[in-house]
A = this chain, B = another copy of it.
């Protein structure tokens, strides 16, 4: 048949377009539109509500950077919670750390987990690890019901539309602080500074009011809007900028390095301006 191109309008006036070999699965789940497609450039790709969530070729950037920065900052991360992240990529990175004894994944949409296992095995393949506990549930409620329980919480959500809208509220960050142990750390993906400056500014302000140590860091993700993604880290005790050299053990990575751990926090001036630093 003719060429198929998927186009994501990342803003009203700008987008990316990706050649699609075939659609592997498409479904309106209870929560969102789910498409799994095979692309030539990026390998298999998961779309939720028409937005690129992850691709086999570039997923390593996001998953390594959202995981290893907090897990190397914490001196002995044992119990980890991942909110969202049904594709399993964060879990795969988290359990690379030998100190991790239990990793709980709470995704509201079981279909994301099901079809990631089927079509993204390179990403989802560690969801069956014995240290991993997968729950199909509301992450907001899971947080609300947890207290003093986790060393690290990673919020791997979609954009603040649809099921993830509660995950960008100050109440949610307060709940996270409660769910963390007294020396816990949390990270959330917080979109890009070119098109979502307001979101970054608001989240950073909210997190900073709750956590004594708050920083923003970035990574390059080609299939995400602008290619420059931000992560907001809130920590009760350990500063990601003051991690001792001896803490960095060897892990197999394709993006993260211990030098980049620090460099990722050095922000372009216009991004510093967004968060008032």
Contacts and interface: CB of A to CB of B under 8 A. Distances in A.
Query: How many copies of the chain does the oligomer comprise?
Result: 2
Contact of A220 (B16, B41, B220, B254): B220
A242 interface: no
Q: Is the interface of A mostly helix, strand, loop or mixed?
A: mixed
A19 interface: yes
B17 A16 contact: yes
Interface stretch (A105-113, A136-144, A162-170, A262-270): A262-270
A255 B7 CA distance: 29
Interface string A92-113: 0000000000000000000000
Contacts of A15: 16-17
Among all A-B residue pairs, the 10 with the closest Cβ atoms:
A227-B227, A263-B266, A13-B19, A13-B41, A13-B40, A263-B263, A222-B226, A220-B228, A14-B41, A255-B268
Interface of A: 7, 11-19, 39-42, 58, 61, 194, 218, 220-222, 225-228, 253-257, 259-260, 262-263, 266-270, 272
15 contacts: A7-B17, A12-B19, A13-B19, A13-B39, A14-B17, A14-B42, A16-B17, A194-B222, A218-B220, A220-B268, A222-B227, A254-B268, A257-B269, A257-B272, A263-B263
